[in-house]
Amino acid sequence: MPVSIFLQVIKTFYLQKYFLIMRPRLLKFLSCPKCKSVFQLYSKKRDKEKIIEGSLVCENCQAVYPIYRGIPRILDRENLSNEKRKIAMRFGVEWKLHKHIFELYEKQFLEMDISLQTRKFQR
């Protein structure tokens, strides 16, 4: 596997693992796609500061958006074109099919002998 692809996969994995999980402090950056109002956060399952399961409820229009596996699903499904629905479904399927690859790459990355790799670039 080319190093650039490997590094991109590792970067994506760590972003998801450590940064892209819903946290209360992220509420200030989110708004309802329907009315642009702020959300109230309701958590069902937490891991310290991370919200694993729960929901975001709009204070104005009361629209409810689930938080599943740490990811808020903020999507105005009513105004989504058929083309975009198909893309979203395919994207979701790919994530499910290839989830095991991130675990494999993490294992490979942690087992790498970095000193051997860096010697290749020394003069």
The tokens describing 66, both together, are: 């689930």
**66-110 confidence digits (pLDDT tens):** 998 888 888 776 777 787 777 777 776 766 666 667 677 777 777
Give the start-to-end residue ranges of the domains of the chain. 3-119
Q: Which CATH architecture has domain 3-119?
A: Single Sheet (2.20)
The tokens describing 94, both together, are: 């790919």
**17-71 confidence digits (pLDDT tens):** 655 688 888 888 889 988 999 999 998 988 888 888 999 999 999 999 999 888 8
Structure-token match 């095991």, residue found:
100
Note the Cα 122 to chain centre separation in Å: 37
For residue 123, pLDDT beyond 60: no
Taking residue 22's Cβ as centre, other Cβ atoms within 10 Å add up to 24
Judge whether 70 and 22 are in contact, CB under 8 Å: yes
pLDDT score of 69: 84
Structure-token match 């702020």, residue found:
38
Please compute the mean of the pLDDT values over residues 2-31 and round it to a whole number: 71
